[in-house]
Structure 1
Amino acid sequence: MGDWLYLIIAIAVLAVALVVGLVVGRGRRTPPPVAPPAPAAPTAPDLSPPAGTDVAEPVAEPVVGPVVEEPAAPVLEKPEGTASRLVRLRQRLAGSQSGLGRGLLALLSRDRLDEDTWESIEDTLLTADVGVTPTQELVDRLRTRLRVEGGSEEPRAVLREELLALVGPDMDRRLQVSGSDGRPGVVLVVGVNGSGKTTTVGKLSRILVAEDRSVVLGAADTFRAAAVEQLATWGERVGVDVVRGAEGTDPASVAFEAVKEGVDTQADTVIVDTAGRLQNKAGLMDELGKVKRVIEKQAPVTEVLLVLDATTGQNGLIQARVFSEVVDVTGIVLTKLDGSAKGGIVVQVQRELGVPVKLVGLGEGADDLAPFDAGAFVDALLG
């Protein structure tokens, strides 16, 4: 009886232990797997210099780009001086005008100066555009000296003296290109299109630059874009400022700005190229009159040059009359004189307007404009 009791107790204890084990096992949780730690980022080595060490500033790398060449400065031309121009004046005139002188000398050297000879002398002078009145005066003087006074004088010397008197050696041919009271001289250049007016402005600027004068050009012939561009080119060649406006701009406003720049920069001379339209005298008078009035608000006009084409003969004289009635012309520029055998126009236009020929154009070259010299002209006529 005792043994069975012990056995029962042992089974009961074993059962209780089994139940307790199952309960405890159910309350436990399996922990989730732990991910391995990420590897640490490599640490940059400390390259800083020790304390107290001088450190040079970093040098920036140059930025390499396309090589841009600077434009070369324009090479300015050096215009010819007056002396060399006068040499060429004699050469060119001798080549184109000597026929007149040779013809007159041949007639005057005849053994007998009869009426037929004097008529031939008159015809020769008229053909050369000397003009009726000057021709009659010259023939009368030659008749007196070569026939009435006994014919003792040498024909060539007599002809030279009388031609020189006819051309007017005492006329003041100086260009009035200087102003007063610190203001520039102002030259107004007028004439019809095609006479060489704009070219004359450019060539005149070269004469003044050769004399070490500072010059400003005014491109007031605004109705011809070609004239404005042409004048700009002339200015660039010798380093002269050109004041210009858009095509069709009021010419008076361009002339005003040109003179204003001349005053502001203390230039010696301002040359203004004007429009050469000749539709009618009233329109021309209004336009040129306005240009002159506007200019003189800043500085007086010191010279008005009328440009005439020597090859146009009587047409040139008609133009001269119109312009002289519109503006107070103070001097004449005869262009293309080397291309005409009618050098007598010098005498006729001076008589017509009562003002001297001051400049003559002798070719297409940049420096083929020269001061007119009466002695050189007459010597060229005589060869």
Structure 2
Amino acid sequence: MSEDLQQPAQARMASVVGLAQELIRRPSRAGIDDYGPVLGVLEDWLTTRSLPHRRLHDGAGALVGLLVEIPGGRPGSWWALDACVDTAPYGDETAWSFPPASGEIVDGWLLGRGSADSKLAATMFCHIAADLAPRAESLCGGLAVLLDVDEHTGDFGGARAYLTDPSTARPAGVMIGYPGMGEVVVGGRGLWRATITVHAPSGHSGSSRTVVGAVTRAAHLVRLLDTAKLPSTAGTLGFPLPPKLSVTAFHGGQGFSVTPDRVDINVDVRTTPGFDAHDAETLVRKAVAELDAELPAPKPTEVAPVAAWPPFRLAEDEQPAAALLRAAAGAGLTVRPKTAGPSNIGNLLAGEGIPATAGFGVPYEGLHGINERAHLAELPAVYAVYQRAVLGLLEG
């Protein structure tokens, strides 16, 4: 690509940051705040610039996102940029050093919930769409910008609505604007999750009759799960991380005088190509069978799977990872491909057969915690990298 995009990117920064400040000042905590105000800011900005956009709704009619579409004038694949504009909750607001909806800039940091994850990326992607719109006729395929407001719930309603919309061109790949400099996330472990219900006879805690209650049985099951041997598959099939099992919730009982007849446990298994969802379920059911054999109860333990996403990993020469890595190198940045331990929206896309990168952005602190903030000095370089990557994909 012959043109130097760093200088135009620098000229865009005041507008990118200004729009991000407006978004941060509209609270959009997942499951808490109304998303209308934060999307309204984006809609006004897009309308002023005559950029085509529309709201996305889920099957129940709930607002789950905003979609911007810039069709090219030549045949080709569509590509998507994705950033969420809903956020994690604030947590203990008294522990913050500044208001969570601040939006102020202090010592080069943009302050407030969503500054890192991912309102700054959302405004950056909207500006890139605006940059490309005047030259759209010369581009192949098209660019979609997905602004999801159902991401931090874990439901990814915006992405689901986008992928199931019959009027939308299915993307050949997606670049997700999670923050973090120095790495392009090209993969992530998958997951298999289940709720396990452990039963036992109830009774009085002071009874002279010995009863193995549900809490005792459930605690034994947790020990079985914690000591279960998972294969060390790190490095196999080109995947650098091993699987992992965690018991993440334990609910049952009330008060002191009754041994409960039921305890519910949540189990989260992070999967890999060498240890998939079927393997995870087999391991958990084996532990459950061992529990029921060692500490029998009138009713067998129940396993109810609730979610399964596949792991994913793109090769460095696979799009859109190749375009993003190449653009970063062209900007003089040393960026390495990374496979993330936590799952992300890239796993959902992988389940749909859509390759995705899931992170390259500005340095940050406090993501999902207190004092969330994003460093702005690197923003022009990040902007130019994404713009180079998009142009590389759309110029054919």
Q: TM-score, normalised by structure 1?
A: 0.26
Structure having the higher Rg:
1
Q: Which has the higher strand share?
A: 2
Q: TM-score, normalised by structure 2?
A: 0.25
